[in-house]
Amino acid sequence: MILSNFIANQTVHEKYGGVVPELASRAHMQNIVPVVDVALKEAGVELQDVDAIAFTQAPGLIGSLLVGGQFAKSLSMALNKPLIAVHHMQAHVLANLIDEPRPSFPFLCLTVSGGHTQIVLCEAPNKMKVIGETIDDAAGEAFDKSAKLLGLPYPGGPLIDKYAKEGNATRFRFPEPQIPGLDFSFSGLKTSILYFLQNAGTSLVYKEEFRATDEERKTFIENNLADICASVQHRIVTILLNKLKKAASETGIKDICLAGGVSANSGLRSAFEEAGKKHKWNTYVPAFQYCTDNAGMIAITGYYKFLDGDFSDLSVQSTARAEW
């Protein structure tokens, strides 16, 4: 049971249109002690009562990972409690085990966030493998970069979702990439949206003669925002769902989960539920607060590693990238 899942959001990045790593680690340093204090208070436990200290070891922004890693090591040493290094992507998947109903093993998980897009085959809490992933942008990045092209503030994913609700998803047909196997690609979509806007909707292929003035482009976006957002979202969602269906049919697995910040997307959720009904899947999506980056998912992963006695010593290193 999760006793507290307190999150300190960093608003400092908004005006830069993306996360600034240096500012992120500084804000992390300022936040980490107060956040732990609030979490303990909310949970109603003393620091001495915890059984182990779990922390995100990888992957991510190295400055922020180092702040969390050093803090966790210090706590573990001072309290003489086991230290548990957690992989962020494993944690996103295991967010599905926090609340009832839980998927049974083996299950598939489509993890979609601002940094990752993966299909994971999970055989046990500590036994999973990535069977498909993006070869370029992540799904969240595809949302955020499309939003940026439309002049929407960062992170634009939730705004595309909002405007898409009013729009016609089949009005503009952005291309679906032909990538073999279970891998994804989103960079072509971004380019076609760029050209489409540069041409003020006249063509998906860049042609000098179609090039619109800034004014024409702005007016086109203003007049068609809902349809553009709905069409972009529709394409991102079909790219994701088509690969997930392929994974399900190739593995024969029927328990299928979503995870990561993009699983908050209403278009993805409804397409996922619809596919579930059609293909007789048992579908699972974590509660919203466990989809975006959160402490609860690190805690549940720590819990399963604790049961397996999978502890780290103080020499464990934080890393920006990590295979798993």
Ligand X SMILES: Nc1ncnc2c1ncn2[C@@H]1O[C@H](COP(=O)(O)OP(=O)(O)O)[C@@H](O)[C@H]1O
Give the residues lining the site for ligand X (CB under 6 A). 113-115, 140, 143-144, 155, 157-158, 161, 260-262, 264-265, 292-293
Smallest gap, in angstroms, from Cβ of residue 275 to ligand X? Answer: 18
The smaller minimum CB distance to Mg ion, of residues 261 and 267, is found at 261
- Amino acid identity at 46: E
The smaller minimum CB distance to ligand X, of residues 253 and 272, is found at 272
Segment interacting with Mg ion, rule: CB under 5 A, options 61-69, 228-236, 292-300, 304-312: 292-300
Smallest gap, in angstroms, from Cβ of residue 280 to ligand X? Answer: 27
Tell me which of ligand X, Mg ion, none is bound by residue 262, counting a contact when its beta carbon lies within the kind-specific cut-off of 5 to 8 angstroms.
ligand X
Smallest gap, in angstroms, from Cβ of residue 135 to ligand X? Answer: 17
Smallest gap, in angstroms, from Cβ of residue 257 to Mg ion? Answer: 15
Tell me which of ligand X, Mg ion, none is bound by residue 68, counting a contact when its beta carbon lies within the kind-specific cut-off of 5 to 8 angstroms.
none
d(CA 111, CA 259): 5
The smaller minimum CB distance to Mg ion, of residues 167 and 261, is found at 261
Tell me which of ligand X, Mg ion, none is bound by residue 294, counting a contact when its beta carbon lies within the kind-specific cut-off of 5 to 8 angstroms.
none
Among residues 140, 293, 301, 302, the one that binds Mg ion under rule CB under 5 A: 293
Taking CB under 5 A as the criterion, which residues in 105-124 touch Mg ion? 113
Point out the residue whose Cβ comes nearest to ligand X.
261
d(CA 224, CA 245): 31
Segment interacting with Mg ion, rule: CB under 5 A, options 41-49, 117-125, 192-200, 291-299: 291-299
Chain contacts with Mg ion (rule: CB under 5 A): 113, 293
